[in-house]
Amino acid sequence: MSFEIISVRDNPKYLDAAIGFFASKWSIPRAMYDDCIRSSVATESKLPRWYLLRKVETGEIVGGFGLITNDFNSRQDLWPWIAAVHIEEAERGRALGGFMLEHAVKEAKSLGFGKVYLATDQVGYYEKYGFSHIGSVYGLDGESRLYEKKTRETPLTASEILAELYSGGQGHIQVGGEGVVKKLLADDLAGDRHQRFIIELPSGQTLLVTHNIDVAPRLDTLKVGDTVEFFGNYIWNEHGGLIHWTHADPKREHEAGFLKLGERKYQ
């Protein structure tokens, strides 16, 4: 007997089967799975994604899992989560759990995520597949064990970190990186004056940079095509996000940011 893993997003004909399968295995209202899985097929966001384990010869669905932004728990600073992992009892003992976990890790890596996480009460199972127990997490049913696994050995690049933040809808985080100026915008004169321009990261993601010129010097020579290094606070928006607080805090209450053009640092 052979098995395959099907991405519901890539194969929407399995949408109803996926909703029915997960709703029948977990004590979560069917309407929640219905809305989540249908939305996962329609969205342009990287997450969530849902997968089914299928017997090739018979077409029977015998397992599944999700790759989601949060698994109903307290650690909303971490993502993606491998969730709702289930294999039918009759198919257990064939290493299909490891097969699905390996697929989940590969999918997360292909989407640009450096780690995956899961919450469980099991002890000793996930360690067999390279997951590390790193602490506890708290959900609707109380405390669970928190596990993580790296999808790669090398650290994430700045572009990959920002891609994770964007896909996860996360913001208000200090990040650094560099990008190429794609467009110069008019200054924002409401309140403190801000110099504004759009940069493109190596990944293709774009960011709006808003640089407070009542606190820090203006980049007077800035032009389209320049490479700008930045360190500041990332705010999510549907266009890729924006970077602000690219200056030192006169009150010294906030981590200092900066912009760098050529050899000069502006902060």
Q: How do 227-235 and 258-261 pair as beta strands?
A: antiparallel
Q: What is the mean pLDDT of residues 208-230?
A: 97
* Residue located via tokens 């399968």: 21
pLDDT (0 to 100) of residue 6: 96
Confidence label for 160 from pLDDT (cuts 50, 70 and 90): confident
Task: Give 43's contacts (C-beta < 8 A, 6+ positions apart).
Answer: none
Does pTM surpass 0.75? no
**What are the strands of the beta sheet with 49-55, ordered from one edge?**
3-7, 49-55, 61-68, 81-87, 115-120, 142-150, 132-139
Band (pLDDT 50/70/90 cuts) for residue 172 is confident
pLDDT above 90 as % of the chain: 82
Instruction: Compare 34 and 95 and report the one with higher pLDDT.
Output: 34
pLDDT of residue 155: 72
pLDDT at 156 over 80: no
* pLDDT tens, residue by residue, 234-258: 999 999 999 999 999 888 878 899 9
Provide mean pLDDT across the span 76-102: 94
Q: Which two tokens stand for residue 174?
A: 């200090």
Phi, psi for 131 (deg, rounded to 5): -85, 145
Mean pLDDT of the chain: 93
Nearest Cα to Cα of residue 173 among 216, 117, 235, 218: 235
Look up tokens 């928190």; give the residue: 146
pLDDT for 196-207, tens place per residue? Answer: 999 999 999 999
Six-digit token string for 74: 């307290």
Q: Which two tokens stand for residue 182?
A: 């794609």
- pLDDT score at 254: 81
pLDDT digits (tens, 9 = 90+) for 13-55: 999 999 999 999 999 999 999 999 999 999 989 999 999 999 9
Long-range contacts made by residues 107-111, C-beta under 8 angstroms, separation at least 24?
107/7, 107/49, 107/51, 107/67, 108/67, 108/80, 108/151, 109/151, 109/152, 111/46, 111/47, 111/80, 111/167
